Structure 1
Amino acid sequence: MDSVTKFLQPLQLHPVVDHFSMALLIVAVLIDLVASAAPTRIWLRYAALLLIILGALAAGGSYFTGGMEADRIWNALGPPAKDVLKKHAELGEYLAITFGVLALWRIMIEGFGFMAGSRAIYLIVAFVAIVVLGYQGHLGGVLVFDYGAGTALMAAAPVPSEAASPSSAPTSSGAIPMVSVPTPIATSTPPPAIPATSASKPTDSPKPGNTPASSPTAQPSATPSGGAAM
């Protein structure tokens, strides 16, 4: 089994098998819905039966090749991409089992008369399954186009993790206080010229006020000196 995996892994078969299985399964269910509206078109039911069988086999191959791709690129992915890949792989496993059961169910509906009454339930379950299949394909697109999983872009520039994004925020926020620190110093340097001019004005105004204060002090000192002379 390991030798088969080593041989198939460089071929990168997962995208081919995955798209092939999605097309087969979606078309099979849609044709079966059309066949229910046109019961006289028996060939539509047989076409849907053949497509659901081929699609179930392709879904198993898609899950197998997807596991090989996950082993190859797992260590090169960041935490967010690993979460998406894990969900994508889990859905792939569940869908492979689901469509295998649906294929057997569809064979029994066509081959055994007592199972014909469950056709409506089968179509409802099959329709829900292809909706989930479309969501799983969306996750695969996120891996490739958003995270570069399995591409040369991933090898050239590894996907940053979530832990790396918060580290950039403190550096940008830390630079802002350093820029705002010199601004108070620059504004405080020009004001010394303003107090100097304001201080000179009060010194000139008290001069007329000093003359009445000096005259009373001189008169009392003169009267005693005159009495002493007499």
Structure 2
Amino acid sequence: MGFDLAVRVTEVLLALVLVQQSLEQMAVDPAARVWLALRLAFCAALLAGQGWAVWGLMALGLWWLKRYDGPFNGGSDKMTLLVLACLSGVEAALALDRTFWAEMAFGYLAIQLVLSYFISGQVKLVNPAWRRGEALREVFLYSAYPVSERLRGLAERRLVTFWGAWVVMLVEMAFPLFLLHPLALAAGLTLAAGFHFSNACLFGLNRFFWIWLCAFPALIWLQGRLVG
């Protein structure tokens, strides 16, 4: 995937993600509807190919931090700001005809994506509760997320939680190795997407699924840049 195409795909995906987030947010924070409508306008501009719109979206993203005294939705909002910051850097560099720095900004997004998986796996691996499968068991047993009673029954299947925990840890720890070959990367991104999709279905973490997918084009581009 070429640089221009990867950036454009990321912009389109990000605009669609922010549309979804804005519509959800309107339902829980009606007082912010004017600002959310402005964000939707920036999203429309970005979908129409106006790259400068990411600067407006970035400014609104920083304003949300002040309004909610931190991220509105935790890790997914942090990832949203990361994607916005990197795309803002890309657009600024391109406006100054600095292609090298544009690629550096976009590559930074890819590296952060890899680290988000690798560090998460590392943290789990050093935790005895994760190695024994107890941490995953407690996710199903005590989670405040809307897990059905039937799914909570998985907590009693010790082999499922044990091997499930190890699969998650090993895939996350191995993520940097997926950069070695395009087919390996395709497999890694498929596993990652499946992981996020499962979390969306089981726990309602739908925002994580969409915003992490936004960063995938950056990693596909970087892998081709490094290995191709």
Structure 1 and Structure 2 fold alike (TM over 0.5): no
- TM, length-normalised to structure 2: 0.31
- RCO greater where, 1 or 2, for CA within 8 Å and sep 6 or more? 2
- TM, length-normalised to structure 1: 0.30
Q: Which has the larger radius of gyration?
A: 1
